[in-house]
Amino acid sequence: MGDAYAVPFEAALPTTARGAVTALFRVHHKRLVGLASLLVDDHGTAEEIVQDAFESLYKRWNGLRDPDAAVAYLDRAVVYGARSWVRRRVTARAYVLPEAGTAPSAETEGVALRRNDELADAIRALPQRQREVIVLRYFLDLSEEQIAAWLGVTTGSVKRHAFRATEALQKRMEAWG
Amino acid sequence: MNQLETAIADTLRAQAQGAAMSTDTPHEQDILESRLDVIDHENTRTRRALWSTVAAVAAAVLVVVGARAILAGTEDGGTVVSPPRVLFTSTEFGVPFTVDSLPSWLTTHTLIPDGQDAEGLYWNRCPQNVDNECIGVAFTRVSGVVASPQSWPPVPVDYKGFLAYLDRLGRTGKLTISERKPTTIDGRPAVEYSATAPTELTNMLGCHIHGSTRCDEFFPGVPGRYVVVDTGTLDPTGAVLVIYTRAGGVGPAEAGWLEQFDQMLTTVKFTGTAPSSK
């Protein structure tokens, strides 16, 4: 696991479900909001997805006493929650990918910062499944096999999504120069 | 990692960090505590209801046994009629209903659904998985459809229109419909589809378009049974009720998957009218 997972949980969890879940919340909340924000376009939705994940964990706590299992559960719940049918498409599809060449100029923003923003926009504009694969691969540092297991698809499907996504991002970056 | 991959990773970290820094964790924790209070309250209420049911059944058994003992001396006895037993009552869903049975393969530890609001209600089937593909049973109100995963926004649809839409998906090969038959749910006209989508059909299982728009989808290769119900005046918004189950995308269907779903359908009772504002 990479940096995104490098959140230590050294203290023993409280013995009650309530205490354990709130302790996990304090440690992992910001990181999970960050993860959710990569998968949805609206900050409020990202926060709500994280709330849902902790609520779901609380409901299932009897079967999930291991802190490591709980953290993994939360990560997955956030990824799945991002495309949950309950929240689905509240904000998605409203975003329109800017045409090449219409981004802010380097005169007003630093070139590196502008490219960062452009790349972020391009990632947001990817089809949802491709976006998920990119986030799981490059933010959570999951292997193709792990991503396949998380998403319930074959590794071949993961490879295809990753290939198409990086190809689209590459073209977009080339268009922007 | 090549240059592009490094740039992607750096961009994602920067974006996530920005979002993380702009969230107010103490405030969010207050919200979580409130939500956990609601769960605790519902769990307590469910346990009380369960004990009340157990007590009622025990009392009914005693009455029946007593009556039979009395009748045994004079005639052959009468038919024992079990008291009606409601297993679950929806609390937030816009088309209120009760059911007397739920599939045993649902993994929820209580009767509380994994999700419920005015537009949708569902229970998952996987123990540690909250993916859409893990939804075991869902009740959802559909009031709009999209022509393709790329088209947006959804256009309004009624009962007949939604049936025509599903049939069209079948005719064009987007949805493989293995069975289509008319049925009734609590006396309401309905059509049951057994169907599988060869490819992912994002947003194409129908949307609700009153308030915030959101849609459901067909997952590729995941078989499901979808029952489209004409709720008539039960739903003043004109939304169609879709009750569905689907096998998981991550494993084989459980034993009795469809049989138990069908059994549940026979026990659905609509108990009121949806608020017109929803």
Query: Which chain B residues are closer than 8 Å to A173 by Cβ?
Result: 4, 7
* pLDDT of B22 strictly over 80: yes
Cα gap B114→B154, rounded to integer Å: 26
**Which is more confident, B124 or B271?**
B271
Beta-carbon separation of A60 and B127 below 8 A: yes
Q: Which of residues 101-130 of A touch B (CB under 8 A)?
A: 115-116, 119-120, 123, 128-129
User: What Rg do the C-alpha atoms of chain B give, in angstroms?
Assistant: 23
For residue B183, what pLDDT is reported? 96
Q: What are phi and psi of B33, to 5 degrees?
A: -60, -40
Distance to chain B for A112, nearest Cα, Å: 10
Domain residue spans of chain A: 14-82, 111-176
Q: How confident is the model at residue B52 (pLDDT cuts 50, 70, 90)?
A: low
For residue A111, what pLDDT is reported? 59
For residue A86, what pLDDT is reported? 38
For residue A103, what pLDDT is reported? 43
**Which is more confident, B216 or B176?**
B176
- For the segment B109-136, the average pLDDT, to the nearest whole number, is 71
A47: closest CA among A4, A82, A22, A80?
A82
Cα gap A56→A54, rounded to integer Å: 5
CA angle, B28 then B32 then B35, to 5°: 140
What token pair was written down for B92? 């937030």
For residue B270, what pLDDT is reported? 94
**Which is more confident, B53 or B66?**
B53
Distance to chain A for B236, nearest Cα, Å: 21
State the CB neighbour count (10 A cutoff) for residue A123.
22
Closest chain A residue to B121, measured at CA: A86
Beta-carbon separation of A85 and B140 below 8 A: yes
For residue B90, what pLDDT is reported? 92
* pLDDT of B181 strictly over 80: yes
For residue B103, what pLDDT is reported? 87
CA angle, B49 then B39 then B83, to 5°: 15
Q: How confident is the model at residue B53 (pLDDT cuts 50, 70, 90)?
A: low
pLDDT, tens digit (0-9, with 9 covering 90-100), for B251-270: 667 778 899 999 999 999 99
Using DSSP, state whether B70 is helix, strand or coil: helix
Mean pLDDT of each 10-residue bin along chain A, 177 residues long: 42 78 92 92 88 88 73 86 54 34 46 74 86 92 86 81 90 77
* pLDDT of B163 strictly over 90: yes
Cα gap A71→A77, rounded to integer Å: 10
Q: Which of B17, B23, B143, B212 to mutate to test the interface with A (most CBs of A within 10 A)?
A: B23
Helix axes A128-138, A144-151, angle to 10 degrees: 130
For residue B55, what pLDDT is reported? 65
Least confident of A73-87, B44-58, B144-158, B264-278: B44-58
CATH (residue range A111-176): 1.10.10.10
For residue A10, what pLDDT is reported? 44
Closest chain B residue to A22, measured at CA: B29
**Which residues are B155's β-sheet partners?**
B145
For residue A108, what pLDDT is reported? 47
* pLDDT of B192 strictly over 70: yes
Cα gap B90→B271, rounded to integer Å: 9
pLDDT, tens digit (0-9, with 9 covering 90-100), for B63-80: 666 556 555 544 444 444
For residue B250, what pLDDT is reported? 55
Angstrom CA distances, B47 to B53, B57, B112, B127, stand at: 10, 15, 11, 21
Query: Which chain B residues are closer than 8 Å to A80 by Cβ?
Result: 129-132, 134
| Cβ contacts from A onto B, under 8 A | 171
CA angle, A161 then A111 then A35, to 5°: 40
For residue A6, what pLDDT is reported? 39
Cα gap B69→B36, rounded to integer Å: 49
Residues contacting A15, CB < 8 A, separation 6+: none
Q: Which of B3, B11, B215 to mutate to test the interface with A (most CBs of A within 10 A)?
A: B11
**Which is more confident, B158 or B114?**
B158
Q: Which of B6, B15, B107 to mutate to test the interface with A (most CBs of A within 10 A)?
A: B15
Burial of A19 (0-12, 13-18, 19+ CB in 10 A): exposed
**Which is more confident, B98 or A68?**
B98
Burial of B82 (0-12, 13-18, 19+ CB in 10 A): exposed
Beta-carbon separation of B120 and A86 below 8 A: yes
* pLDDT of B274 strictly over 80: no
* pLDDT of B87 strictly over 70: yes
Q: How confident is the model at residue B239 (pLDDT cuts 50, 70, 90)?
A: very high
* pLDDT of B249 strictly over 80: no
- For the segment B10-16, the average pLDDT, to the nearest whole number, is 91
For residue A101, what pLDDT is reported? 39
Contact of B4 with chain A, judged by CB distance below 8 Å, is answered with yes
B175: closest CA among B230, B124, B218?
B218
